[in-house]
Amino acid sequence: MADKKLGVWLVGGCGNVAATAILGLVGLQKKLAPTTGLVTELSDFSALPLAEWDDLVIAGHDIRTPNLRATVGRLANEQVVPRELVEACGDELSEIDARIKPGIAYKAGDAIRALADVSVDDDATTAPRTLVSRLQNDLESFIEANDLRGAVVVNVASTEPPLASELPERWEAFDALLDEPGAAIPASTLYAVAALELGLPFVNFTPSAGASFPAVEELAKRKKICHAGQDGKTGETLMKTVLAPMFAERNLEVLSWVGHNIFGNLDGRILDNPENRAAKVATKDRVVGGTLGYDPQTLVSIEYIESLGDWKTAWDHIHFRGFLGTLMTLQFTWQGCDSALAAPLVLDLVRLVDVARRAGEVGAVTSLAAFFKRPLGADCHDFARQHARLLEWIRSTAQQMG
């Protein structure tokens, strides 16, 4: 089995993040891309038995007709990925297109459903279980057809609106609910259930609900499989979790922290929808108070500015009080390319949860908190502490597996 390859199943396989990850992986496999931005390529990680880039096979689901060549061509125009790489990898991208299957948009909200150009399930009359079964068929066929030793399922699809109603806390009731037509369980969670039931690890790189429910955690534990999430920490929030501890450790009192984010990719267009944005703002906004231990006034805004494309600019203004009450200010402007920041972390997480699975971890892998805005099962938002914990996990896991 060690000789078999590992599947990478991307939910939202046609989006910018997926396309950048796919192009990057092909580039790594063809020795055309450097390893910059890949955390697992740092020397600290060399003790782990990570899957080789050559051993990864990519596929996925999407509610749009796949055309990865066109997508990365657009990304090259937006200066997100290099045109030479796009031109060198055309054949591989077309092959991957053929492995991207029609996804689901069940209870994913109007903004997301409006993106679909494949036929999507009716929100009112479909029983979620039907969809889970369809997803599982796709996953099993992929594994069988490619003779894989398994697969890691990663959600990089658009952000769903937050759930209005409560879901059952125990798996048994949750499982029963899956059979009810129109039951309010969002697509991201159905993907999680589909993966975990098959004993495949699930990674939720988005703010959508995914595996964040107690019942799904129970499912993971029953199936003795691990998962990780939620919402990849790539830019402004990463900065917050790096800077907030500095204020705390210097006993400087943060009075207010304003973050204003503007960008123009599809993710931004979906988040321009107030209900979808609510989910995102929730994961971005809690880290400051969580790190400081008190709650200064915070404000996070996310705005869709079309001309910026995939380039996200965040302006943060931090107002703080020092010795003898003196008021001071820190401002930063982060000009990052969203997909180029997210894509390598997606590839890193595939490798890391694969190791976690092989090491026998069950439920949310809290040692991977450094990768997420809202780390499942972990309280700490302080990036340096999260990183220290990750290093400790590497040491103990390497020792255990060694």
Shortest distance, position 326 Cβ to a second copy, whole Å: 4
Helices 187-197 & 214-223 angle (0-180, nearest 10): 20
Structural tokens at position 31: 């020795």
Place of tokens 């000789």: 3
Shortest distance, position 318 Cβ to a second copy, whole Å: 10
Phi first, then psi, for residue 282 (nearest 5°) are -60, -45
> DSSP class of residue 42?
S
For a second copy, which is the closer residue by CB, 47 or 242?
242
Q: Helix or strand or coil: residue 379?
A: coil
For a second copy, which is the closer residue by CB, 47 or 118?
47
CA 401, CA 371: separation in Å to the nearest integer? 22
Q: Helix or strand or coil: residue 360?
A: coil
Are the C-beta atoms of 402 and 355 separated by less than 8 Å? no
Are the C-beta atoms of 100 and 62 separated by less than 8 Å? yes
> DSSP class of residue 232?
B
Shortest distance, position 383 Cβ to a second copy, whole Å: 7
For a second copy, which is the closer residue by CB, 137 or 335?
335
For a second copy, which is the closer residue by CB, 203 or 300?
300
Shortest distance, position 389 Cβ to a second copy, whole Å: 12
For a second copy, which is the closer residue by CB, 146 or 313?
313
CA 340, CA 100: separation in Å to the nearest integer? 21
Shortest distance, position 359 Cβ to a second copy, whole Å: 22
Phi first, then psi, for residue 58 (nearest 5°) are -100, 145
Shortest distance, position 79 Cβ to a second copy, whole Å: 6
Shortest distance, position 279 Cβ to a second copy, whole Å: 20
Shortest distance, position 87 Cβ to a second copy, whole Å: 11
For a second copy, which is the closer residue by CB, 40 or 276?
40
Are the C-beta atoms of 25 and 58 separated by less than 8 Å? yes
For a second copy, which is the closer residue by CB, 242 or 359?
242
CA 229, CA 354: separation in Å to the nearest integer? 14
Which among 281, 294, 210, 220 has a CA at the least distance from the CA of 252? 294
Beta bridge partners of 60: 10, 100
For a second copy, which is the closer residue by CB, 38 or 104?
38
Place of tokens 């991208």: 93
* Apex 329 CA angle, 308 and 249, nearest 5: 105
